[in-house]
Amino acid sequence: MRRIKNGHLWAVAVIAIGIMGAQIARAQTIIPDSALISSNYYYTDLIGGGIGPIAVMTGGGNANNAGDPSGRNDDGYDGPVNMGFTLNFFGTDYTQFWANNNGNVSFTGGLAQYTPTGPQGAAVPDIAPFFADVDTRNANSGVMHIRTDIPNEIIVTWDGVGYYDQNADKLDSFQLVLRGPGYTIPAGEGPIGFFYKSMQWETGDASGGSGGFGGTPAAVGFGNGAGQGEVLQGSIQSGISGIVNDTHIWFNQNLTPVPPPPSSNVPEPGSLSLLTGMGLSGAGLLFRRRRLA
């Protein structure tokens, strides 16, 4: 058995994951990857204002570097973060969340788990745009950011982040948008959004991977912490990074993908601003395996 924490084997944790895995098989809904919309930008590229301040860790697992203003860590989390609104998720209302370095946000507590068993395989409710073993300790890696300046909206960004063990030869860039009931949602959008730019890796070295691939790849989706969840087609399978690369997807309150609005020759104001910036305005508009130190 390979998973070790502080010199102790976590047999009970492994058994628990196995039992939960059996529950997952009976309670998992698949989101078709055909619902992904081709794009190559963050949501914040559309609205402006940047990706927000660096998330400073408050705790977590291996090398969480709590309190370090650089935000560099492995298996850390920031929270609880007050959303400023109430989010109903799997029938439960939440006003706080934890932003976890490993590609997800959770409710009721932070999540240092690094290898996904499916988002619903976590012991707490979670939303996972890309649940994988993110490690931002390498100076060439970006870090996690949290933007909270927009009323009724939270934006969490993993901007050009590396993977365990301190690898930055490949980087992933992805973003989560959460909106409260007071937000006026435009056509073709929803209260939850996943945005992906370049996605170059999908597995950390301690999840059985090598060079960012193999082993247990990343998971994308939602879980209620008790065996019920929804995952994107291709989650925890080889090639998931390629599936989500340069795409985005919005979900409604029922966690169902929102189709894009009918195409128009007139771009949305936010899109026009993005295109202008690009010079295109005239284009026709588990449980921590505790790595031993």
pLDDT in tens, 153-203: 999 999 999 999 999 999 999 999 999 999 999 999 999 999 999 999 999
- Give the integer Cα–Cα distance in Å for 151 and 84: 8
pLDDT of residue 118: 82
SS (H, E, C) 132-168: CCEECCCCCCCCEEEECCCCCEEEEEEEEEEECCCEE
pLDDT of residue 289: 38
| Residue 143 · residue 162 · CB < 8 Å | no
Which tens digit of pLDDT belongs to each residue from 58-68? 999 999 999 99
C-alpha 104: how far from chain center: 4
Does the pTM surpass 0.95? The reply is no
pLDDT of residue 94: 98
Which tens digit of pLDDT belongs to each residue from 118-152? 888 899 999 999 999 999 999 999 999 999 999 99
pLDDT of residue 262: 82
pLDDT of residue 28: 87
CA contacts within 13 A on the Cβ side of 212? 20
- Of 177, 173, 72, nearest to 130 (Cα)? 173
Only one residue has tokens 């100076």, namely: 139
What DSSP element (H or E) covers 104? strand 104-106
Region 7-32: mean pLDDT is 46
Percent of the chain clearing pLDDT 70 (strictly above): 81
Region 260-269: mean pLDDT is 61
122-134 per-residue burial string, b: 16 or more CB within 10 A, e: under 16: bbbbbbbbbbbbb
Local structure of residue 102 (DSSP, 8 states): T
Q: Which residue has the higher pLDDT, 57 or 6?
A: 57
Region 204-220: mean pLDDT is 98
User: What is the average pLDDT score of the chain?
Assistant: 85
| Per-residue pLDDT band at 48 (split at 50, 70, 90) | very high
In this model, does residue 5 exceed pLDDT 90? Answer: no
